[in-house]
Amino acid sequence: MSFKSVFVLSSTFLLGFATFFVGSLQSDDKVSKVLKREHGGWSIEYLQNSTTLSQATAINADGAMVGFKEVPNENLTIFRSVYFYCGKNGDCKEVPMPKGFTNVEATAISDTNLVVGRATRPMGAEDGSLRAFVWDTKKPELQMLPRPENDTLGDAHSISADGTRITGYSTGFERLRPTLWSWDAKKSEWKVTVLPTLHEYNPYLMSAQLIISPDGKTIVGCCTEQFLPDGTIDSALYVWREENGQWQRKMVTKEQLYVKAINNKGQIAGSVAAQHGRLPCVATLDGQIKMLDFLEGDVGGEARGINEQSIIVGWSDDPHGPDGGPVPCSWTMEGKVTRIELSESGFGAVFAINEKGQIAGGAEVSYRAEAAKADDEEEVAMLAFRATKKSN
């Protein structure tokens, strides 16, 4: 079933944790709350930054995260997503909104605490409605990334661990192309490169993404392989690597993957479309694709992260319906699935894993509000988390 159907559940889902601690995280503009608990062999920090939904979607080597939270209007009738950064020491702040734009979305974070993503505004804006950005979290403003000549829109998906290479796409008239931004230290500026493709128009990149490995040496994404007679576009998975100063393209497989992460070994975590949603898989650069197991009773899921130990993380999901929901899990390269227990209800998702084995995502949590009375029911929300495996 979809995430949305399980974000706010009945307060009868009560958690029986033995101990927990509610502390404060100082932010630039306000105080956030963190709920610390231990469950399923994990030490977990939940961010109490939303009454309905928040999720951490990326994590770096130090445990700094980016994600989003739902924020309601005064009447509690309309919710909007606000993206945030939360450092390893709890310095949480919202991603700044650039002047003239109405929305920002963060997609990735480097080990140097650079955040990348997209800024949007209504269609018809003179300088484009979609712009790729990079944000140094120590500074108050975003920096827009340059566009190739005659292109109008851009979107950043991924960043290398050292923060010197960013990948995404750029668009112009009748074209959408995989794009690399490289930091030129001598000129103190970002250099933009359009990666070679068979065709100029590669729409599958919008949803499947263009991802770069942590060492910045390998780029993967799905681009147009051919235009079929019925008007549909057939995409395939490609890899780009730099040779003698030029980026060379090679087909990995004709399968269309939703690519979400790649490690320095060239192991790719992602999913493929299926009747019941998406199916989790792992691919290698020699074209091998391994479908990953589900938890018992489930029919779908997604693989969203992979580290250098080849630990894959994501979620397993059951059939659409009023009950159940996504459950956090991990996989081996052989496809063996293991449930990750982060709360008593069990619902949630893992979006990323770092080299320390820390994971980040969102999990359904029941808790008592700070100002609650003794007879008040507990609150239930899907909260962003950072979790560290406890040592034996």
pLDDT by residue, tens only, the chain of 392 residues? 333 233 232 222 222 222 222 333 333 334 458 899 999 999 999 999 998 899 999 999 999 999 999 998 777 777 889 999 999 887 899 999 999 999 999 999 999 999 999 999 998 888 889 999 999 999 999 999 999 999 999 999 999 999 999 999 999 999 999 999 999 999 999 999 999 999 999 999 999 999 999 999 999 999 999 999 998 999 999 999 999 989 999 999 999 999 999 999 999 999 999 877 899 999 999 999 999 999 999 999 999 999 999 999 999 998 766 567 899 999 999 999 999 999 988 999 999 999 999 999 999 998 766 555 555 677 889 999 999 999 86
pTM of the model: 0.89
Q: Are 204 and 222 in contact (CB under 8 A)?
A: yes
* pLDDT of the residue at 18: 26
Query: Which amino acid does the sequence have at 365?
Result: V
Q: CA separation (Å) from 302 to 24, 284, 313?
A: 33, 17, 8
**Nearest partner of 207 among 185, 223, 227, judged by Cα:** 223
Q: Which two tokens stand for residue 163?
A: 């923060």
* pLDDT of the residue at 331: 98
Q: Are 205 and 233 in contact (CB under 8 A)?
A: no
Residue 123 CA to residue 127 CA, distance in Å, equals: 10
Tell the burial category of 217 from Cβ atoms under 10 Å away from its Cβ (0-12, 13-18, 19+): middle
CATH number of 57-336: 2.120.10.30
* pLDDT of the residue at 379: 83
Residue 134 CA to residue 118 CA, distance in Å, equals: 9
Which residues, in sequence order, are bridge partners of residue 221? Answer: 210, 238
* pLDDT of the residue at 376: 65
**What are the residues whose beta carbons fall under 8 Å from the beta carbon of 172, sequence distance 6 or more?**
148, 150, 151, 152
**What are the residues whose beta carbons fall under 8 Å from the beta carbon of 241, sequence distance 6 or more?**
217, 218, 219, 247, 248, 250
Would you say how long the chain is, in residues?
A: 392
* pLDDT of the residue at 4: 29
* pLDDT of the residue at 15: 25
Residue 49 CA to residue 343 CA, distance in Å, equals: 17
* pLDDT of the residue at 73: 78
